[in-house]
Chains A and B, each alone.
Chain A
């Protein structure tokens, strides 16, 4: 193929310009199919390099001159007019001697005769043919997709259709939460429509943004009044004569006057295919943009190059340059693919991404979050080079990152400071202290409280401050979110020189954050943070999606703070809580059905025996919590085992949960000659009240019928010891690693009081203890007086705590086994993805 082209090219290169002009008709004929950005960029470049070399004819399917397609969004939003986005007027075509045929799609190519034929029957001969047919919106093949009122977002006609619909008001549903879909949604919203975006993926623009940035973007769009439904799959578009609604696979119906399909684009390769050119996902081209026919070239969104298709403008222009050079007779460079960046064109929303930010082997993340300014930045580095960048809220350094990325520059020297942007470093970018020293006095250090460098330095020198806490107290810098604490410490170091030693700070939750458990919890409640992504942003997490240590803790804190509102994040739970059984060392599970207060019946025992036989369960053991543990159950058998146990009236014993485990009892006054009260009955009542709750760590209760304490109630998280005059409540005991006897909390007279105290104690523990802190260390940490003050000395607070506990229980007392055994919840957990070989 190479040989063919160069021999063809030979005489052309030798021909001089004068000859060309005189020769007139002997000029080579270049026919361009497609009057879009890629085709016309090629022509423009070609005219600049070799004016007058070709007799050029351009076919355009649209009735307009060439316009800037990527500016259609501002046209929709009313920020630009069509005239403002026209790239080349008809006069320009005339002035350059180009024959422009608009509204005239090409329908066929006769490669043998080297002619194209248009829809109107016009036949034009070519020496070189350039296909720049672009792409088409991908219309998802659901019923109703062809109804009037369903539009793509591709050309001016689509924009006109949207503007016309918007003028009538009403509701728009945009299918697709990518770049184009969101620009369409914003435009329609600006024009006054009620807009809902349906997006299949869990976060918006997932190809350009990581989940953190995607979530911030979603919040911003929601603030603008756009409804966003993620994880939403379109089932059908409804309507008789025109669209009336969209139905999702989960059954929800969204009324719609128009539906904009913006789920993606497909290379428009029909013409190439019809002509028998080699096509894959697009018209296949080599590095010189040649198709399988050496006289035919292709550029833009219609091509497949090295297995990749492109839908952004920068790669198209890079292709156009290479091809123009070639057509002009030059040696031409080679197009070898592009590194791309994207920016969302929604006014006031700054989003930028470039390169590969998916991470992977050997990469490291630098994450910067400024909660006060709503900024999120993430850089992905590998081998000292920038691999990708995602910026939200502050994109002014996007171009700088992009150039570092494209150049493959070694950034190891700037690694420490580059996240702050270009020019942060000043004299010596590699040294963070020097970088801070180089900052002007007016540089804002604490975004929350608006404190600048000069103020802090002055306070340090004037008042002789030597610690972060003192700076905090005097200037308020780092007193709110604490995100600038590190910078303030550096400022102390720079100002004081050797006189400064960093003070030990609070123990952070994990390596993802500098905040403590208590600070994060307080922020969740005080600042109304209701999702994990909100916490990551507000508390300036340094990882994109947390770790195995902080995620379960945050999930618990959110669940505890927002009962009924927060949706449990299943993937942030430890495996036992995720599958409601206990993993064993061989990867099998153990199953413990609940036995209320340690009571069971013949039919329950018979059902357990049958399950053991049916599923060949190898080990059956009586537990310390007065129930029966079935060991060695295969994961895939769990739902069937549960179904059989459910059928006999048994529910999950939560033996796997950071939650209420058991209420151990002795038989009490019903049978025992020493029994003072109905300890078994009270135990059952306590278990009925508290089962299903989620707590910072596991919770075990017990009720003993007399001070002989056969139920070992004084080494439980909460133990009740019955006495003649009523009940003793003991708290904070533990019979495990560090044995701790309970502290006596209070003596009460009635069962009702026992229940109220228990609910209140549970809630206080739920709200105040740190995740994975048992009641014993918690009581030791806060002191028994603190617990007594809340529960014993303040009856109103006790009642409120109990009421909050009972309210949260209304959302937690669904048997998780029944949901999985009968309702198919989390079915994928218990099935193999596939079996091979």
Chain B
């Protein structure tokens, strides 16, 4: 596991260093465990990094285990497709999972965990699932 350094910038956003871009496989994902729950970091073919709550808005499937394509990930449990940048489910499904601001400097990846919009799972549809 990589060492953790937390630094404060002038904007008072706390960026938490979580590792290197190279630690995440291309078109793959790695997980960062936080007190607010697991965060899934995704790396696209174009080498961008996105961070989502590791939980599908449908039935909390671990998005980190899905297949990454373009700027989306397909949940391994029921094939919901989630936008990496927003956490929004792609239509016709409806729902949104939390996302965390990511900063990449050089090859280092940092998360603004304080500014994460997390919302623990649960089905957003009126189908009674929790």
Mark A residues whose CB is within 8 Å of B. Answer: 201-202, 206, 210-211, 357-363, 365, 543-548, 551-552, 570-576, 578-579, 583, 585, 587, 828, 831-837
Nearest-CB distance from A263 to chain B (Å)? 13
CA distance A206 to B23 in the complex (A): 17
Given contacts A365-B70, A828-B30, contact A836 B4 (CB under 8 A): yes
- B45 CB contacts on chain A under 8 angstroms: 210-211, 544-545
Is A571 within 8 A of B23, CB to CB? no
Is A833 within 8 A of B30, CB to CB? yes
Given contacts A545-B27, A551-B67, A571-B28, contact A585 B86 (CB under 8 A): no
- B74 CB contacts on chain A under 8 angstroms: 547-548
Which of B33, B60, B79 interacts with A836 by CB under 8 Å?
B33
Residue of A nearest to B76 (CB): A575
- A363 CB contacts on chain B under 8 angstroms: 71
Is B18 within 8 A of A833, CB to CB? yes
CA distance A709 to B18 in the complex (A): 57
Is A359 within 8 A of B32, CB to CB? no
- Interface 0/1 of B1-38, CB less than 8 Å to A: 11010000000000010110001111110111111000
Is A571 within 8 A of B26, CB to CB? yes
CA distance A573 to B67 in the complex (A): 7
CA distance A362 to B72 in the complex (A): 12
Is B19 within 8 A of A834, CB to CB? yes
CA distance A190 to B45 in the complex (A): 31
- A552 CB contacts on chain B under 8 angstroms: 67
Most buried by A among B46, B61, B62: B46
**20 further A-B pairs in the complex, CB-CB below 8 A; given A835-B34, A837-B113:** A210-B45, A358-B48, A361-B71, A361-B86, A363-B71, A545-B70, A547-B72, A551-B67, A552-B67, A571-B28, A572-B27, A575-B65, A575-B67, A587-B62, A828-B25, A828-B30, A834-B1, A834-B4, A835-B32, A836-B111
- B33 CB contacts on chain A under 8 angstroms: 832, 834-836
A-B contact list, 29 entries, CB within 8 Å = A201-B47, A211-B45, A358-B44, A358-B46, A360-B48, A360-B85, A361-B85, A546-B69, A547-B70, A547-B72, A548-B74, A551-B67, A570-B25, A571-B26, A571-B28, A571-B67, A574-B67, A575-B67, A576-B76, A583-B77, A585-B77, A828-B30, A832-B32, A833-B1, A833-B30, A834-B1, A834-B4, A835-B4, A836-B113
Nearest-CB distance from B36 to chain A (Å)? 8
Given contacts A211-B46, A585-B77, A834-B4, contact A551 B69 (CB under 8 A): yes
Residue of A nearest to B16 (CB): A836
Nearest-CB distance from A214 to chain B (Å)? 9
- B44 CB contacts on chain A under 8 angstroms: 358-359
Nearest-CB distance from A369 to chain B (Å)? 16
- B2 CB contacts on chain A under 8 angstroms: 833-834
CA distance A632 to B83 in the complex (A): 29
- Count of A-B residue pairs with CB < 8 Å: 123
Residue of B nearest to A212 (CB): B45
- A543 CB contacts on chain B under 8 angstroms: 69-70
- Decide if B81 is an interface residue (CB 8 Å cutoff): yes
Residue of B nearest to A583 (CB): B76
CA distance A574 to B69 in the complex (A): 12
- B67 CB contacts on chain A under 8 angstroms: 548, 551-552, 571-575
- Decide if B68 is an interface residue (CB 8 Å cutoff): yes
- Decide if B52 is an interface residue (CB 8 Å cutoff): no
- Decide if B66 is an interface residue (CB 8 Å cutoff): yes
CA distance A483 to B77 in the complex (A): 34
CA distance A576 to B67 in the complex (A): 11
- B16 CB contacts on chain A under 8 angstroms: 836
CA distance A583 to B79 in the complex (A): 13
CA distance A201 to B46 in the complex (A): 10
- Decide if B41 is an interface residue (CB 8 Å cutoff): yes
Nearest-CB distance from B62 to chain A (Å)? 4
CA distance A363 to B1 in the complex (A): 34
Nearest-CB distance from A531 to chain B (Å)? 14
CA distance A551 to B18 in the complex (A): 29
- A365 CB contacts on chain B under 8 angstroms: 70
- Decide if B59 is an interface residue (CB 8 Å cutoff): yes
Is A361 within 8 A of B83, CB to CB? yes
Most buried by A among B27, B60, B77: B27
CA distance A669 to B79 in the complex (A): 46
Query: For chain B, what secondary structure do more than half of its interface residues adopt (helix, strand, loop), or is it mixed?
Result: loop
* Closest 5 pairs (CB-CB, A-B): A548-B74, A361-B85, A833-B30, A548-B67, A571-B27
- A357 CB contacts on chain B under 8 angstroms: 46
Residue of A nearest to B69 (CB): A547
Nearest-CB distance from A365 to chain B (Å)? 7
- B41 CB contacts on chain A under 8 angstroms: 833
Is A834 within 8 A of B18, CB to CB? yes
Is A833 within 8 A of B77, CB to CB? no
Is A837 within 8 A of B66, CB to CB? no
Is A836 within 8 A of B18, CB to CB? yes
CA distance A312 to B76 in the complex (A): 43
Is B76 within 8 A of A833, CB to CB? no
Is B62 within 8 A of A834, CB to CB? no
Is B26 within 8 A of A202, CB to CB? yes
CA distance A548 to B70 in the complex (A): 10
Nearest-CB distance from B110 to chain A (Å)? 11
Residue of A nearest to B3 (CB): A834
CA distance A201 to B72 in the complex (A): 21
Which of B23, B46, B71, B79 interacts with A828 by CB under 8 Å?
B23
Given contacts A201-B47, A585-B77, A833-B32, contact A571 B18 (CB under 8 A): no
Most buried by A among B23, B34, B71: B71
- B1 CB contacts on chain A under 8 angstroms: 831-835
CA distance A545 to B46 in the complex (A): 10
Nearest-CB distance from B70 to chain A (Å)? 6
CA distance A242 to B47 in the complex (A): 36
CA distance A578 to B2 in the complex (A): 23
Is B71 within 8 A of A360, CB to CB? yes
- B19 CB contacts on chain A under 8 angstroms: 833-834
Residue of A nearest to B34 (CB): A836
Is B30 within 8 A of A359, CB to CB? no
CA distance A570 to B29 in the complex (A): 12
Is A575 within 8 A of B26, CB to CB? no
Nearest-CB distance from A828 to chain B (Å)? 6
Nearest-CB distance from B25 to chain A (Å)? 6
Residue of B nearest to A578 (CB): B65
Nearest-CB distance from A390 to chain B (Å)? 10
- A833 CB contacts on chain B under 8 angstroms: 1-2, 18-19, 23-24, 30-32, 41
CA distance A585 to B75 in the complex (A): 12
Residue of B nearest to A358 (CB): B46
Is B26 within 8 A of A836, CB to CB? no
CA distance A832 to B67 in the complex (A): 18
CA distance A793 to B41 in the complex (A): 55
- A576 CB contacts on chain B under 8 angstroms: 76
CA distance A587 to B37 in the complex (A): 13
Nearest-CB distance from A208 to chain B (Å)? 11
Residue of B nearest to A365 (CB): B70
Given contacts A361-B85, A551-B69, contact A587 B24 (CB under 8 A): no
